[in-house]
Amino acid sequence: MKKIGLVITAAILGGIITFSALKLTGSNQARIVKIEHLPNTASTVPTHYGPAAGEAFPPDFTGVSKKVMPAVVHIKSTRLQKFRDHQYRNYPDPFRDFFDDDLFRHFFGPGFRNQSPGQIPQEPRARIGTGSGVIINSDGYIVTNNHVIDNSDEIEVTLDDNRVFKAKIIGTDPSTDLALLQIKEKNLPSIPFADSDGVEVGEWVLAVGNPFNLNSTVTAGIVSAKGRNINILQDRSAIESFIQTDAAINPGNSGGALVNLRGGLIGINTAIASPTGAYAGYGFAIPSNIVSKVVEDLLQYGIVQRGYLGLIIRDVTGELVSEKNLKISNGVYVDSLATNSAAGDAGVKEGDVIIEVDGNMVRNTAKLLEIIGRHHPGDKVVLKIDRSGKKMDFPVTLRNQQGEEKMIKSDSEDILGVLGVELEEIDKQTAKFLGIDNGLRITKLYPGILQQHTEIREGFIITKVDGNEIKSVDQFKKYLEKKTGGVMLEGVYEDYPGTYYYAFGL
């Protein structure tokens, strides 16, 4: 069960503040979004001194707590569970004006059955989840965890001063469990990003959030470890390289901030290790350098542009050293090469051990994924390899998931983004098994029209749109880009009998 803690610190002690200035172009005019970064200098520990010279008391967290608490928010996400007859296929308002029940039975087939006369309609039941968020920009941009707002129909943000706003989802990244929201308000307090690479084990940190709906709670602890992979994210491209802390984190802290004593954001708290579901000693936060990259990509491109090496990897362990007769006991072992592998084409081979990326030591897969995940397709990195005891350098140009050295073309107006769906064409063997000619399988659903207005599930295979056969993702996109009004999807599930229909309006 995921639990999160939130810490925000805004004290700036010397140095020059830097900003990421992103120029975003929309339908009306370009705008600039500034993301603040603290300079990479060491944190200091504030202390109180007693009457005797040199008599040091415990660290004082009051100043930094006061500065960061106003930038920590409470998030409430609401999802409506709809109750329907088992055979009833819901259709939205745009279709009610054009079709009666008899016509729908003709369109859907004899299985269609609407609500019986006199039957009392069941109101949707609300499922409410709560978490925390961090304001990172004065114009209302807020970072939280994807699992806090996933599948929500409505998101409500409560500020530290108790003002309440509805929030819009700017973008999500399930691979890192991050989401970017925005509320319609200006001149808000925010927390600057700090360099998470510079965080040291043993360093004091604060966690600020809303555990158990207790607003603006601050806890203190130290960084217990870095580069932790706890296998909590289910996404196939998951990146886990958590900062581990013993600052108390509990349910409701999800999406909160982990900050250093200079008031810089070093992580977004995401999970706890607990046998009971409550704090039991350790929490885990997404490093701020990953957060910063995800935020900037979502703002600039609408999706996260992530580079890939194209390798199947695992940690080097004592057992693997003996099994493979390796000459090194730390690093990342290359099990195999993916199709169209960027690293493979650069000369990396199965059985190699990656020990450095651009001069940065990598002791495990978590650290390697973190470093590579902060790069874009087309970026160049240098891998240092141990091959049977011989050290070798390989320059690698990273590629996207499609195996190309370029950014993926996408923006917030892309029709798949509007629908909130990712699609793939099914293979001929699957089509033959299901008795269909072609189909597009829904591999991922995220907030959008389909999730909001239908009960379609991941795995649904679209065979027709408005009665027209669909053979490719491009054909699907081109058809809907020109479409207005009602749309009817027809298709099947691999694990359920029958044909299913889902209707929505554009």
424-448 pLDDT tens trace: 999 999 999 999 999 999 998 876 7
CA angle (91 as vertex; 89, 95 as ends), nearest 5:
140
User: Which one of the listed residues 254, 288, 292, 341 is annotated catalytic?
Assistant: 254
User: Which one of the listed residues 147, 375, 376, 453 is annotated catalytic?
Assistant: 147
The reply to whether 254 belongs to the active site is yes
DSSP assignment letter at 11: -
- The pLDDT of residue 444 is 85
Q: Which CATH architecture has domain 311-397?
A: Roll (2.30)
Contact 43, 245 (CB under 8 A): no
* Residue 357 in tokens: 């990326």
- The pLDDT of residue 469 is 93
| Overall fold of domain 415-505 | Pdz3 Domain (2.30.42)
SS3 320: helix
Contact 271, 263 (CB under 8 A): no
User: Which one of the listed residues 177, 195, 246, 297 is annotated catalytic?
Assistant: 177
The reply to whether 147 belongs to the active site is yes
* Residue 333 in tokens: 């072992």
Residue spans of beta strands (DSSP E) within 146-262: 154-158, 164-173, 178-183, 204-209, 217-228, 242-245, 257-259
Nearest 5°: phi and psi at 181? -115, 165
Contact 202, 222 (CB under 8 A): yes
| CB atoms near residue 206 (< 10 Å) | 27
Break the chain into its structural domains and give their ranges: 1-82+124-303, 311-397, 415-505
311-397 and 415-505, same CATH topology: yes
Q: How far apart are CA 203 and CA 286, in angstroms?
A: 16
SS3 447: coil
Q: How far apart are CA 298 and CA 90, in angstroms?
A: 32
Q: How far apart are CA 455 and CA 151, in angstroms?
A: 11
Q: How far apart are CA 222 and CA 282, in angstroms?
A: 10
Q: What residue ranges of the chain have pLDDT lower than 50?
A: 1-17, 25-29, 47-53, 55-56, 83-121, 411-413
pTM of the entire structure? 0.72
- Taking 3-state DSSP, the helix, strand and coil percentages for the chain, each rounded to the nearest 5, stand at 20, 35, 45
Contact 498, 463 (CB under 8 A): no
Tally DSSP H helices, then E strands, for the chain: 12, 28
Nearest 5°: phi and psi at 300? -90, -35
- The pLDDT of residue 22 is 64
Quick one: which of 349, 378, 354, 379 has its CA closest to 366? 354
**Class for the domain spanning 1-82+124-303:** mainly beta
The reply to whether 101 belongs to the active site is no
Burial grade of 63 (CB within 10 A; 0-12, 13-18, 19 or more): middle
Nearest 5°: phi and psi at 351? 95, -10
Q: How many Cα atoms within 13 Å fall on the side-chain side of residue 360?
A: 13
pLDDT 10s digits, 117-129: 444 445 567 788 8
Q: What is the DSSP string of 457-505?
A: -TT-EEEEETTEE---HHHHHHHHHT--SEEEEEEEETTEEEEEEEEEE
Spell 471-482 as b/e; 16+ CB within 10 A means b. eeeebbeeebee
